Amino acid sequence: MIRKVKGTRDILPPETRLWSAVEGIALEVLGGFGYAEIRLPILEPTELFVRTVGEGTDIVSKEMYTFADRKGRSLTLRPEGTAGVARCFIENGLGQRPQPLRLCYLGPMFRYEKMQRGRYRQFAQIGIEILGAAAPAADVEVVLALHTFLSELGFDDLRIKLNNLGDPEDRERFIALLKGELGPSRDELCDDCRRRWTENPLRILDCKVPRCRELVAATTPVSEVASDPARAHVDAVEAALAELAIPVERAPRLVRGLDYYLRTVFEVVSPELGDDTVICGGGRYDRLIADLGGAPVPGVGFAIGEDRLVEVLPASFAGPRLERRAVALLPVGAAAVAPAAGLARDLVRSGVAVETEVTGRSLKAGLKWAAKIDAVVAVILGERELGDGVAVVRDLGRGEQSAVPLDRVVAKVVELLAGGGDR
Ligand code: ATP
Ligand code: MG
């Protein structure tokens, strides 16, 4: 037996219906705020992520699926979406379009990580980016769009944590301060953090090892080192969100796993998954496009982990939207096959979900099968009925049936489905 690649998932029906419902609502709600869908390649040049996500990050140092193609070019399966959007913005001259540009994406991402609940090697993200807006109003809108989307899904218990990372210039001062404060306990840090010390010290704040956390808890928070303009920016974002009654907590030591963020960073956690399993991460990245060789175009965005989101969807969501009461079509005899298929087409065009018996079962076996697939109505097309120009429409809940002229079957089925709430 061939098994799936470690860290990938088979998402089966009916769970796939949850996924497409979530994606549909995402495109609708985020699209409502002006974020138009963009579809980008999954394969990108490796250099794109090295230059944007940052060499000292977990993603670039150990999580990327990188390989040489047949001509020896180094390619990487995208580990996140923002870098590709930035590349595309520059390559397609999107700065020529009316600014700011609002974009939304969804699709698979790849990271070579240790498998655990909510952590996969192929996972899906839903994200938005607003490019060309430096003012706090853009950060406010991004968090508002996120909050609105999550509320539409029925969430009311998620926590949004927000921090101020300051500007890149502040970061150098912060790192010097952090190293000074952690210096005496440097030997007590975990192996990863000792590597981070030289490669990317800010990442030490993100370490999940308990002793590292204790040591970090005693240091000056990164938000306190932010310059006055950065402080004014994030304070303005926070004030506007408070005015909108969007509950946001300050988390003065929060950092994200990507180097390009500055000023505003935020994440969303759920009580069910706990603080270490983040559902959404986001923030501002004003230098990203310039660092890639483009114009100095500021940006803000977020990325939701769809696997984690679907896992904690409120029960209120799973119910009604998942309902799909099918009609079983039971042709009996070869002459009924084409009329049944034609009826299937008419029903589907009228918005009714059907499943047609196509294995040649007898009527009795066909009715058993209809019960097994939870059909609510069965339409029986036998040779005799067809000769009379009728079909038998059977309400499987009530066990009642009647012969209905073929051109009235669709209307009859629709009527039964509309009234069949007591099943
Ligand atoms: P974490 O701290 O959980 O490793 P991250 O900081 O690496 O997350 P981001 O790069 O900000 O995550 O990605 C945004 C979101 O994508 C995360 O909040 C999470 O929901 C989701 N995500 C990231 N990595 C994975 C993964 N390996 N499996 C499933 N979802 C993931
Ligand atoms: Mg990670």
More confident residue, 277 or 33: 33
Residue 295: what pLDDT? 97
pLDDT value of residue 56: 81
Tokens standing for 259?
A: 């180097």
Write down the residue that tokens 């300051």 correspond to: 166
pLDDT over 50 at 288, yes or no? yes
Joined tokens for residue 352:
């009714």
User: pTM for this structure?
Assistant: 0.92
Q: What is the pLDDT of residues 43-77, one digit of tens each?
A: 999 999 999 998 888 899 999 999 999 999 999 99
Residues in contact with 289: Cβ distance below 8 Å, sequence separation at least 6, in sequence order: 86, 89, 90, 131, 295, 296, 297, 299
Ligand nearest to the CA of 109: 1
pLDDT digits (tens, 9 = 90+) for 328-353: 999 999 999 999 999 999 999 999 99
Choice between 317 and 280, residue whose per-residue pLDDT is larger: 280
Task: For residue 118, give the ligand 1 atom closest to its CA.
Answer: 29
Atom of ligand 1 nearest to the CA of 278: 18
Q: What is the pLDDT of residues 207-239, one digit of tens each?
A: 989 999 999 999 999 999 999 999 999 999 999
Q: What percent of the chain has pLDDT over 70?
A: 97
- pLDDT at position 318 is 64
Q: Ligand 1, atom 11: nearest CA belongs to which residue?
A: 281
303 alpha carbon, closest ligand: 1
Q: Measuring from each residue's beta carbon to the nearest atom of ligand 1, which residues come in under 6 Å?
A: 80, 111, 113, 118-120, 123, 125, 256-258, 278-281, 303, 305, 307-308
Q: What is the atom index within ligand 1 of the atom nearest the CA of 58?
A: 7
